[in-house]
Amino acid sequence: QGRVVEIYGSEASGKTTLALHVIAESQKNGGYCAFVDAEHALDPSLAESIGVKTKNLLLSQPDSGEQALNLVDTLIRSGAVDVVVVDSVAALVPKSELDGDMGDVHMALQARLMSQALRKLSHSLSQSQTVLLFVNQIRSKLSTFGGFKGPTEVTCGGNALKFYASVRLKTKISGLIKKGEEVLGTQIMVKIVKNKHAPPFKEVQLELEFGKGISRDSEVIELGCKHKFITKAGVAYYCLNGQSFHGKDALKRYIAENEVVREELMIKLKEKLTQADTNDTSYKDEISRGDTQEEIISIQTTDEEVVAEVEAQSIST
């Protein structure tokens, strides 16, 4: 709360879907949320299927970047909103650019707008309990300087958001979900590129079903198998609570139709994951007190997030 979060990635990699799930979870806990639709592309039916209560959602479709960011600042200062989503940074077009003609050259207008806005918004957030979530896109960067190959992909809106964001998540498509020849959805990889509240660089794979959003039942099954609450025999047989199921789809239907079973399984998983985090922290404390040697690892990469992390570490030291 009171922080900036950025979700970025390529097209159709689940950025907006993930942001809508954040809103849905906040609403379940009684939160009031706002969605600043700078792209003018929000599908209310998709939001409803994900679990968003659109009747209780404050939706705005601003005409310019200045109008959008001023609205965001007003919402944060009001203290009445728990989550504000801006979709997306790339669509926050400065008014001077909108008023100009096609082909006019505008040098770094959006970057200056974002830098100025984030200085103001960070101050407003420090006095509130609002989560400000930016959805962002990536662009290809072809130029190199001095023979050093920099990041081949960069995010829109300049570098200010990278520094002001407490958490940065990168999404990308890692596979397709198919039933026969029919494509039912996509599998995405979400990587924590930056995290000021916990260790970064963790990854998770999620299944996105077309028209439904993140498949929570698939996530429960995968974690259940990992932590031995669900046993898997062979390739296609699963066992839960003494019952056998042929295929993952059959088990998903059973969990979806039995809310009590799902909740019990989720409670067990939360306890297990919380215990694992506690043990991991204790282990790291023991390691830090031990006689360990530091080492420097050379990174040969062109990924933007890794390059930025190395630069940030070198600056801090």
Higher per-residue pLDDT: 292 or 69 = 69
What is the pTM (predicted TM-score) of this model? 0.83
Higher per-residue pLDDT: 92 or 306 = 92
Average pLDDT, the chain: 87
- Count how many residues are written for the chain: 317
C-alpha span between 166 and 33 (Å, rounded): 20
pLDDT in tens, 147-192: 555 568 899 999 999 999 999 999 999 999 988 899 999 999 999 9
203 in helix, strand or coil?
Answer: strand
Res 107: pLDDT = 76
Per-domain boundaries in the chain: 4-169, 220-283
CATH class name, domain 4-169: alpha beta
Would you identify the CATH topology of the domain 220-283? Rec A Protein; domain 2 (3.30.250)
31 in helix, strand or coil?
Answer: coil
Percent of the chain with pLDDT over 70: 84
C-alpha span between 58 and 72 (Å, rounded): 11
Amino acid making up residue 298: S
Q: Is the pLDDT of residue 67 over 60?
A: yes
